[in-house]
Structure 1
Amino acid sequence: MWASLATALEDQSEMRYALTRATQLIESGQIEGDASFLGDIVPCLNSATSPTAAILGLKTYVTSFRTNTDASTHWKTYASAGTGFALAFNPKLLEIPGTLLHPVIYDIEEQDKLLRAFIESTDLLFKRISVLGHNNDTAFRLRQRAIHWTALGLWTLAPLVKEHRFREENEWRLIVIEPVSAEVKNGEGISQEVRLRSSNGRDIPYKVLGYNPLPVVELELGKHTAVALDDLGLKEQLQHATSSSDVSITRSVVCPKKSRRPE
């Protein structure tokens, strides 16, 4: 599977939404902590001007999953208007070392609770470090480091926070976090190299997540897929990829709405 660089995805409104919510929490005084420390985090949350990534370096790669396959838009957008298929995975086996699998949060109160808890915990940690009696230069550098790491944490959490209008997707996301300036030994299955894929004329960096065997538990054919449920070739391919003969094959009854082709 591909885990694409979150900051290179076409719809950057998702990242901006989460970072904007965090900014609003800080600026509205809804977070307990040192006002000066919290205020200095805000500039690092501006997706257009943030110096955070350049200063510390951190890349977040994301693979997305929908748990609602009954929506017509699911089959129209992701399965070639119902002529494709959907794979269901075992979530426990998807989360390999070096990754985080988590449901996307659509409820605003739950989003604010998550962001607030993270920011307040880092503020508290910085306070505990500050009382150790460092000299002025060390104290300043520790403060800057704490500000940037807090911002980086919020950038990392951003893919897990989406607007309520997308709630029907019931999306989960698998996240791979990789510091750029540190040598990291990824878990088995995560490619060391970063590859590029083309989408609408843009190059999007991605890492490969490899599974052996593939943790697939079900294959759901689209309503308009020509392949039969008892196709022996399909069953052999599934057994080869999953090392199991228990993968169920079903067919969706959802009829995706066809969109007009551009002239």
Structure 2
Amino acid sequence: MKLPILDGVLSRTPSRPLYHYTGQAGFIGIIDQSEIWATHTQYLNDRREYLHAIDLVQNRIRAWSASANEEDRELLSEMESALAGIESVNVCVCSFSEERDSLSQWRAYGSATSGFAIGFPGEFLATVAAKEQWYLAPCIYDAASQQEVVDALVQEVLDQNRERKMSAPTDDDDLPAGGNLIAYLHRYAPLLKDYSFRDEKEWRLISRPLSCRSKAFDFRLGNSMLTPYYKFPLVDREGHFRIQEIIVGPTPHPRQAEMSARSFLVRCFQREVLVESSKVPYRSW
């Protein structure tokens, strides 16, 4: 039974629409294929954001080890050693924002003259996440809140490892040294982001560990290497794909961009979806 704070982090349902910012190719692919690409955590644009969570866990383990008894020090040492293998696990994430028309998001995810924010009903995303046994949760930016999560995570795994050590081994006890630390960390690490990104109000879809042999696990061309990703199906249990609205990003041709977006939505049987142009006074042309 996980500590309440850990369950609480992963059990929230968004009360408002969430927006995925993308370019033209992403816009067409998401709506035409009813799927979204989730990128491997080790191949995100800012790899340092994932290492931030690992550093927090490592620092907490070392701090506790300094005052722990001999048995706990041994368990904590095994947990720290397990961190070295974290990059070998395939976990993918996809990002959304509570902000429907954000300058920073247009700059980061749109092209210089075109972009779209696809608005999904929050309850729909929660439903498809549960259907695929993924997690949907808001990012945590506050340093104190991050530390609370890390403390609870380390405490949870340490307690489990104590119990395992005291119990007789069984055929089902095939956990690696360090116990569930890596499995748990993959769920929470993508949510711990630097405070400077707080205005993004980001939520993330987070996978369980994935097999690279899965049909939905694929690779795309990157700037300097192949980038692994997962084709996440955006359909509920009844096979429905739902979007609420489209915000057309800053562009030198807003009227034509709106018109072509509406025509594309009609072609994809999404005639009722609202389409609006961004109100952000941003120009890069």
The one-letter amino acid of 2:255's match is A
Aligned to 2:251: 224
Moved more, 170-179 or 22-31: 22-31
Query: Which deviations, in whole Å up to 9, do the C-alpha atoms of 1:5-37 show, x marking residues without a partner?
Result: 111224210111110011111212299892321
Match of 1:156 in 2: 187
Aligned counterparts, 1:181-260, within 5 A: 192-212=215-235, 213-224=240-251, 226-228=253-255, 234-241=261-268, 243-256=269-282, 258=284
Distance of aligned partners of 1:120 and 1:78 in 2 relative to their CA distance in 1, 3 Å threshold:
same
Alignment coverage as a number of residue pairs:
239
Equivalent-residue separation in structure 2 for 1:258 and 1:172 (angstroms): 27
Please state whether the residue corresponding to 1:28 is helix, strand or coil.
Answer: helix
Contact 1:64 1:171 in 2 (8 A): yes
How much identity, in percent, do the aligned residues show?
23
**TM-score scaled by structure 1?**
0.77
Alignment check: 8 A CA contact 1:83 1:226 kept: no
Alpha-carbon displacement from aligned partner over 1:166-203 (angstroms, at most 9, x marks no partner): 1111111111122549x9xxxxxxx6342111121321
Correspondence for 2:136 among 98, 101, 105:
101
Query: Relative to structure 1, is the Cα distance of residues 197 and 99 closer, same or farther in structure 2, using a 3 angstrom cutoff?
Result: same
Q: Give 1:90's aligned residue.
A: 121
Determine helix, strand or coil for the equivalent of 1:87. Answer: strand
**Aligned-pair CA distance for 1:208:** 0.6
Task: Give the unaligned 5+ runs of structure 1.
Answer: 184-190
- State the distance in 1 between where 2:196 and 2:259 align: 41
CA 1:228–1:112: 2 relative to 1, 3 Å: same
RMSD across aligned positions (CA): 3.2
Aligned match for 1:44, one of 74, 79, 82? 82
Q: 2:54 aligns with which of 19, 35, 55?
A: 19
Show structure 1 runs of 4+ deviating over 4 A: 30-33, 141-144, 229-233
For residues 196 and 72 of structure 1, the distance between their equivalents in structure 2, rounded to whole angstroms, comes to 30
Return closer, same or farther for 1:229/1:100 CA change in 2, 3 Å cut-off.
farther
Contact 2:246–2:275 (8 Å) recurs in 1: yes
| Distance in structure 1 (CA, Å) of the matches to 2:192 and 2:207 | 16
Correspondent of 1:72 among 100, 103, 107: 103
Please state how far the C-alpha of 1:143 moved relative to its aligned partner: 9.2
Structure 1 residues 164, 211: CA separation in 2 closer, same or farther (over 3 Å shift)?
same
- Three-state SS of the structure 1 residue aligned to 2:255 is coil
- So what's the TM-score if we normalise by structure 2? 0.71
- Cα deviation for residue 233 of structure 1 reads 5.1
Matched letter for residue 221 of structure 1: V
Contact 1:76 1:258 in 2 (8 A): no
Q: What are the ranges of 5 or more consecutive residues in structure 2 without an aligned counterpart?
A: 1-35
- Which one-letter code corresponds to 2:233 in the other structure? G
CA 1:84–1:115: 2 relative to 1, 3 Å: same
Contact 2:39 2:228 in 1 (8 A): yes
Q: Cα gap change, 1:142/1:60 in structure 2, threshold over 3 Å: closer, same or farther?
A: same
Deviation at 1:153, TM superposition (A): 1.9
Change (3 A) 1:254 1:86: same
* Matched letter for residue 220 of structure 1: I
Write the distance in 2 (CA, Å) between the matches of 1:19 and 1:230. 43
C-alpha distance in structure 2 between counterparts of 1:90 and 1:197, whole Å: 28
